Amino acid sequence: MIKVEAIVREDKFEDIKEALNEIEVNGITVSQVMGCGKSKGYKELVRGTEVTITMLPKIKFEIVVSNEEWEKKTIDAILKAAFTGNPGDGKIFSYDLRNVIRVRTKETGTAAIN
């Protein structure tokens, strides 16, 4: 089992959700998060004063898939939907998971995510 996390632009939420739905990835968790990358934000004029905005709003998708084939499909769908070509498009991380347990039924492993 593999966990895929994607931290992306807020305005790409619907595009990514639709892309995941098209490949039948349904079990997702989404959070609003704040962060900064290499650029460390941007400068903006607020009431005539220059202010540096260092933490930018982002959306974090968390998806658990059963194998490497689904990991690739999921990552490819997110990459295609999240891409703008500009700084701040985001990052995708994938991790091996040791176990998953469905609380209601106590099923474990892939049975808990299917």
Contact partners, residue 57, CB within 8 Å, separation at least 6: 10, 32, 33, 34
Residue indicated by tokens 């474990």? 108
Q: Is the pLDDT of residue 35 over 80?
A: yes
Confidence band of 41 (pLDDT split at 50, 70, 90): low
**69-101 pLDDT, tens per residue?**
999 999 999 999 999 998 889 999 999 999 999
Higher pLDDT: 43 or 25? It is 25
pTM here is: 0.87
- In this prediction, residue 2 has a pLDDT band, given cuts at 50, 70 and 90, of very high
> pLDDT over 90 for what percent of the chain?
74
What the chain holds in terms of domains, given with CATH numbers, is: 2-113 (3.30.70.120)
What is the average pLDDT value for the chain, to the nearest integer? 92
DSSP 66-103: SSHHHHHHHHHHHHHHH--SSTT-EEEEEEE-S--B-T
pLDDT of residue 16: 98
> What value does the mean pLDDT take over residues 24-48?
85
Say what the alpha-carbon torsion angle 10, 14, 15, 18 is, to the nearest 10 degrees. Answer: 150
Contacts of 86 (CB under 8 A, 6+ apart): none
* 13: Cβ contacts below 8 Å, ≥ 6 apart: 30, 59
Any idea what DSSP says for residue 55? S
